[in-house]
Amino acid sequence: MPHLSSSDFDLVLASSSPRRMEILNQLGVRYQAVSPMIDESLRYGESGEEYVRRLALDKASALAMHELSPPILGADTAIVCRGEVFGKPQDFEQFKEMLEALSGSKHVVLSAVAVNNGKSSSVLVCETSVSFREITNQEINYYWRTGEPRDKAGGYAIQGKGAIFIKHISGSYSGVVGLPIFETSQLMKNFNIPFMGLKTEIYND
């Protein structure tokens, strides 16, 4: 693990996701990104919300050291369609099954964000409803060849080419991307993590 000095940044992002980094940049957070080694397997009988909560907390806890280190932010996103939890597709066949299930139907995107400051932790979950249009086999094959679906929950990226499949969303766009801004900013306020270039006292007045 790299040396985590709070003089250099105010937060450690437990992820190597470019999308999550872009959102923290948008929020004006001084952070370092470090990706922990976490088993992301779904446990037997685990619900979608339990799954993303556990992984977000596990990622934050894996890098948390002590209260003098910067707080750690972990996040995870999963899709629930007809009661089935979709993570990242392992191969084309799994991706195809996911897109065929999502095609012409509504699903829920669950994004959890957690913060661990070495002595306590907290997690919030964002839920967004997404409706897809019908997707053809030709589109499924083409989309896989772009390479975009391979590291995305549910096999699509709302901020990328996958946006062409979406008819409607109800909830948080940033949550579907992978880091819900509202919940993230709430946790940063609660843990006194500066963002938007402002000191934490301003948020705590």
Catalytic residues: 76
Question: Reduced to 3 states, what is the DSSP secondary structure of residue 120?
Answer: coil
User: To which residue do tokens 């139907």 refer?
Assistant: 105
For the chain, give the number of residues. Answer: 205
Closest listed residue to residue 58, CA positions, set 44, 39, 41: 39
Using only the alpha carbons of the chain, give its radius of gyration.
17
Task: Report in angstroms the alpha-carbon separations of 173 from 43, 126, 176.
Answer: 27, 10, 5
Task: Report in angstroms the alpha-carbon separations of 89 from 125, 152, 156, 175, 189.
Answer: 22, 8, 10, 19, 34
Query: Is-contact 126 172, C-beta < 8 A?
Result: yes
Query: Is-contact 90 129, C-beta < 8 A?
Result: no
Task: Report in angstroms the alpha-carbon separations of 50 from 31, 130, 202.
Answer: 27, 20, 34
